[in-house]
Amino acid sequence: MKKNDTFELKITDIGADGEGIGRAEGFTWFVKDAIPGDTVEAAAMKIKKTYGFARLKRVIEPSQQRVNSQCPIAGPCGGCSLQSMNYAAQLSFKQKKVRDCIERIGDLKASTVDDISQAGEGVIPVLPVIGMDEPWRYRNKAQLPVGYDKSGRMVAGFYAGRTHSIIPQSDCLITFPENAAITRIILDFCEKNGISAYDEAGHTGLLRHILLRKGFTSGQIMVCLVINGDSFPKAELLAKELKAAQPGVTTVVININRERTNVILGRDCRTVYGPGYITDNIGELSFRIDAMSFFQVNPVQTLKLYSKALEFAGLTGSETVWDLYCGAGTISLFLAKNAASVRGVEIIPEAVEKARENARANGVDNAVFYAGRAEEVVPRIFEEEHCHADVIVVDPPRKGCDGLLLQTMAKMEPERIAYVSCDPATLARDLKILKELGYDALKVQPVDMFPQTPGVETVCLLSNTQRPKKESYITLDVEMEDYYRIKNEGKNSTT
Ligand SMILES: C[S@@+](CC[C@H](N)C(=O)[O-])C[C@H]1O[C@@H](n2cnc3c(N)ncnc32)[C@H](O)[C@@H]1O
């Protein structure tokens, strides 16, 4: 077998990123856009010793799970790589993906079940994924890079998978519908007024990105223009045009980003029109969201996710709760209504400030927030106060929790830990560490925050069913040091 050879392949499995897997000619093949049950004609692209990557040339016999892709640029964009699979199959793929991570990476026994009574002794039950009734148009945020197409026309859209060339997109079917019309108005305004698009290679031109956010319950829309300059010509006039055409637009802001960087937003934001933020509700709580705020992108599922975290926290009103990696305090405020007190920790000072504002705006007076790295702030406070936590909620970024933080959490002896994760691989690694620290995963509830994509969010309940006695923490600390030393040595040897 050599590059570009074509062959027939039956797809029998699916990889973590949603790619189809099949076996032929003594190799395991990974084929993007192929799904289990398909028989396909594939062309070899990259061939390794025992496996290879192939391009889908043609579906010979479609899988029963196959549906027509709804998005006209599904292939080149690649963002919604599961859209040719029916939604029920997507959910079952995600449930298995979480189970596989826990078994392979966490080295723990796990099983997919319909309810926890089906899991055997010592087996972690992974429950069916909580899905959406309508798994399209769910995103409250769109970020579109701006550039030029081959004919020199200004375009906004999406980067073609793993490249920086922009595929123009008039509409994105997972984002709120107004995004297409608003983007068109901005591009037409720029063309009419001689406003240039940013050119990454030369670091020239003005408009870099269009960032749109919508409050699904309030209906308010924010337009943010990210520019490589100090001002945007006739910005007030553009705001007027946007407002006239789209009454939902309640604020327009300019974000200055003059750096040569892939990071979309710069630090400086200027309001052109409206208050500079939108508001939105999750359940009974209301939140202010500006261009920089971290706010979950799927508000319908966020309510289900936070409600699960709250259920797993098992609060009665008397508990001391910690919310680590708390962002703008969204989960903290959910918890505070049902607990004696909540202490939130977050690395971004502006988010902490927002968490305090959100607490005030929602009449929550039993939550305090600390700015800093959770792995520094929590051990320091524990050293000073020897404080106990009844419940700890963690919601870390993709890289998961810091090891020192996990150790300190165990020392705080919470009865329950609710671990919210956006990456099942790092969740699995941390479940293994927490088990060594005395905390068993009792149940795992995935929630589909990102339909049509391979992403999956998970809430896991842990309890200290076999917590080691206090004195054994000292040995454990040494073991953990070894664990991280070995892990880091492993990392260095591969770089
Ligand atoms: C997945 S978000 C969760 C935010 C919040 N719980 C929510 O649902 O809106 C992870 C948060 O962790 C913060 N973060 C990242 N590294 C951190 C660290 N070392 N210590 C504390 N917070 C951190 C990020 O700024 C981000 O706000």
Q: Using the mean position of ligand 1's atoms as its centre, give its distance from the Cα of residue 370 in Å.
A: 12
Q: Which comes out higher in pLDDT, residue 168 or 345?
A: 345
What does the angle CA 378 – CA 383 – CA 385 come to, to the nearest 5 degrees?
90
Q: Is residue 182 part of a domain?
A: yes
pLDDT of residue 470: 46
Residue with CA closest to ligand 1 atom 13: 325
Q: Of 236, 257, 282, which marks where a domain is finished?
A: 282
Q: Are 463 and 415 in contact (CB under 8 A)?
A: yes
pLDDT of residue 449: 97
- pLDDT per residue as tens digits for the range 288-331: 999 988 899 999 999 999 999 999 999 999 999 999 999 999 99
Which candidate, 183, 111, 176, places its Cα nearest to that of 144?
Answer: 183
Backbone angles phi, psi at 474, to 5 degrees: -60, -45
Residue with CA closest to ligand 1 atom 19: 373
Could you list the beta-strand ranges (E) of 348-415: 367-371, 391-394
Calpha distance 432→221 (Å, rounded): 42
Confidence of residue 161 (pLDDT cuts 50, 70, 90): low
Residue 313 and residue 212 share a domain = no
Confidence of residue 476 (pLDDT cuts 50, 70, 90): very low
Q: Is residue 41 part of a domain?
A: yes
Residue 379 and residue 304 share a domain = yes
Q: Using the mean position of ligand 1's atoms as its centre, give its distance from the Cα of residue 170 in Å.
A: 32
Counting beta carbons within 10 angstroms of the beta carbon of residue 363, is it exposed (0 to 12), middle (13 to 18) or buried (19 or more)?
A: exposed
> Which residues form the domain of 166?
141-282
pLDDT of residue 166: 87
Name residues contacting ligand 1 (CB within 6 A). Answer: 294, 296, 325-327, 330-331, 345-348, 351, 373-375, 395-397, 422
The residue to mutate among 347, 352, 399, 409, having the most atoms of ligand 1 within 8 angstroms of its beta carbon, is 347
- pLDDT per residue as tens digits for the range 85-141: 999 999 999 999 999 999 999 999 999 999 998 988 899 999 999 999 999 999 999
Q: Which of 63-67, 165-169, 351-355 has the lowest mean pLDDT?
A: 165-169
Q: Look up residue 491 and give its amino acid.
A: K
pLDDT of residue 18: 85
Residue 295 CA: which ligand 1 atom is closest?
9
Residue 194 and residue 48 share a domain = no
pLDDT of residue 429: 98
Q: What is the mean pLDDT of residues 208-221?
A: 97
- Whether the predicted pLDDT of 287 surpasses 80: yes
- pLDDT per residue as tens digits for the range 18-31: 899 999 988 999 99
Counting beta carbons within 10 angstroms of the beta carbon of residue 382, is it exposed (0 to 12), middle (13 to 18) or buried (19 or more)?
A: middle
Could you confirm whether 224 is annotated as catalytic? no
Q: What is the mean pLDDT of residues 56-70?
A: 95
pLDDT of residue 485: 47
- Whether the predicted pLDDT of 340 surpasses 50: yes
Residue 311 and residue 344 share a domain = yes
Q: Using the mean position of ligand 1's atoms as its centre, give its distance from the Cα of residue 424 in Å.
A: 16
CATH number at residue 227: 2.40.50.1070
Q: What is the mean pLDDT of residues 74-95?
A: 90
Confidence of residue 477 (pLDDT cuts 50, 70, 90): very low
Q: What is the mean pLDDT of residues 207-233?
A: 97
Counting beta carbons within 10 angstroms of the beta carbon of residue 478, is it exposed (0 to 12), middle (13 to 18) or buried (19 or more)?
A: exposed
Q: Of 282, 316, 332, which marks where a domain is finished?
A: 282
CATH number at residue 45: 2.40.50.140
Residue 334 and residue 202 share a domain = no
Structural domain total, the chain: 3
pLDDT of residue 467: 55
Confidence of residue 402 (pLDDT cuts 50, 70, 90): very high
CA 424 → CA 207, 276, 307, 430, distances in Å? 36, 35, 20, 10
Task: Annotate 141-177 with b (16+ C-beta within 10 A) or e (fewer).
Answer: bbbbbbbbeeeeebbbbbbeeeeeebbbbebbbbbbe
Calpha distance 296→329 (Å, rounded): 12
266: left (phi over 0), alpha (psi -120 to 50) or beta: beta
Backbone angles phi, psi at 279, to 5 degrees: -115, 155
Mean pLDDT for the chain overall: 92
pLDDT of residue 174: 95
Calpha distance 180→494 (Å, rounded): 44
Task: Annotate 64-96 with b (16+ C-beta within 10 A) or e (fewer).
Answer: ebbeebebebbbebbbbbbbbbebebbbbbbbb
pLDDT of residue 490: 41
Residue with CA closest to ligand 1 atom 4: 327
- Annotated catalytic residue within 172, 190, 326, 422: 422
Q: Look up residue 94 and give its amino acid.
A: K
Confidence of residue 472 (pLDDT cuts 50, 70, 90): very low
Residue 311 and residue 276 share a domain = no
Residue with CA closest to ligand 1 atom 16: 347
CA 330 → CA 27, 254, 395, distances in Å? 47, 25, 11
Which candidate, 296, 262, 264, places its Cα nearest to that of 280?
Answer: 296
Residue 474 and residue 347 share a domain = yes
Residue 308 and residue 417 share a domain = yes
